[in-house]
Amino acid sequence: MKAYELQGPGGVDAMMLVEKYVPAPGPAQVLVKLKAVTINYRDLLTVKGGYGSRQKFPLVPLSDGAGVVESVGPRDRQLFRGLARRRAERGKDAL
């Protein structure tokens, strides 16, 4: 997958488009394929170094996104079983 990463302090000039591995979800996690994202004030503050020494680089400055659950971690399949069935009943593109 591709992501814009902030490589270090330096604002927008420190952003780089990188190729990252697709992680497998662990227990109590899901993998979401993002369909839409926003850049909001918090993200801009992160890029400009507004959170100071609390930032650990590289990082992806993303607070808000929407997407589709691609896979579910072990032991959590029951949680999403009904959601997948309802989505199928409403149509492939329904959320």
Residue type at 41 in one-letter notation: Y
pLDDT surpasses 50 at 95: no
pLDDT in tens, 21-41: 998 888 878 888 889 988 888
86: tokens are 């309802």
Cβ neighbours around 87 below 10 Å, total: 16
pLDDT surpasses 60 at 89: no
Coil, helix or strand at residue 44:
helix
Single pTM value for the model: 0.65
Superfamily of domain 2-90 in the CATH hierarchy: Medium-chain alcohol dehydrogenases, catalytic domain (3.90.180.10)
Average pLDDT on 64-72 reads: 86
Lowest mean pLDDT segment, chosen from 14-28, 32-46, 68-82: 68-82
The domain ranges of the chain are: 2-90
pLDDT classification of 58: cutoffs 50, 70, 90: very high
Give just the sign of the alpha carbon dihedral 72, 61, 56, 1: positive
The pair phi, psi for residue 83, each rounded to 5°, is -60, -45
CA 50 to chain centre: 21
